[in-house]
């Protein structure tokens, strides 16, 4: 049995989950901060946090565009050469600017690994749990010589003998909140 595989969304499906740059950046920054533990940073214009992201260990900043440098982080918000600063920020500072959507934070926390799988995620993250489940199921399959399968989606699951060339493939649901699993025969 081959190792399990995580299949991420691509193209239009992936693009649909990427948050808009200007709007929910506070919620995205909080979600990424909570998932990774990396500090949040804000672009300050006229004493207001205009944009938010997280500071990666390599010094770059991560926002809806992925990892970027400070110049790219600030560019869309500077119509002219406006004086600005980029500095560490806290959740309480963001809350003092506007109301924060807890449902958007939960949404971004779930969908972030689909968009940026290279970021570190906590052990109790839904994606990590799904991968651990599939890995343990793979071990059970190997131990007993059987695997779970269906002939078509939505059909009842049944047991099948292992052929030695199977793997479980995890893929995110279209909304990014869940995971599907299928058994693939690799030729």
How many Å apart are CA 14 and CA 148, to the nearest integer? 28
Query: Is the pLDDT score of 3 beyond 80?
Result: no
**Torsion angles phi and psi, residue 46, rounded to 5:** 50, 45
Mean pLDDT of 69-87: 86
pLDDT classification of 174: cutoffs 50, 70, 90: confident
* Structure confidence at residue 93 (pLDDT): 96
How many Å apart are CA 126 and CA 66, to the nearest integer? 21
Question: What average pLDDT does the structure give for the chain?
Answer: 85
pLDDT classification of 31: cutoffs 50, 70, 90: very high
User: In this predicted structure, which of 31-35, 57-61, 107-111 has the lowest mean pLDDT?
Assistant: 107-111
Asked if 30 and 24 touch (Cβ cutoff 8 Å), the reply is no
pLDDT classification of 61: cutoffs 50, 70, 90: very high
The strand ranges marked E within 94-152 are: 146-149
Mean pLDDT of 121-150: 87
């Amino acid at each position: 049995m081959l190792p399990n595989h995580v299949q991420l969304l691509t193209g239009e499906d992936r693009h649909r989950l990427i948050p808009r740059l200007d709007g929910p950046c506070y919620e995205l920054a909080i979600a990424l901060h909570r998932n990774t533990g990396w500090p949040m940073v804000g672009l300050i214009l006229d004493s207001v946090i205009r944009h938010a992201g997280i500071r990666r260990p390599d010094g770059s900043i991560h926002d809806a565009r992925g990892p970027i440098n400070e110049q790219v982080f600030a560019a869309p918000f500077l119509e002219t050469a406006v004086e600005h600063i980029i500095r560490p920020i806290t959740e309480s500072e963001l809350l003092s600017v506007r109301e924060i959507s807890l449902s958007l934070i939960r949404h971004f926390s779930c969908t972030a690994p689909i968009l940026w799988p290279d970021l570190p995620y906590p052990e109790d993250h839904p994606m990590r749990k799904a991968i651990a489940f599939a890995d343990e199921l793979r071990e059970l399959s190997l131990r007993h010589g059987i695997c779970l399968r269906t002939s078509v989606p939505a059909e009842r699951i049944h047991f099948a003998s292992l052929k030695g060339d199977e793997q479980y493939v995890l893929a995110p649901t279209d909304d990014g909140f869940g995971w599907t699993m299928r058994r693939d025969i690799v030729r």
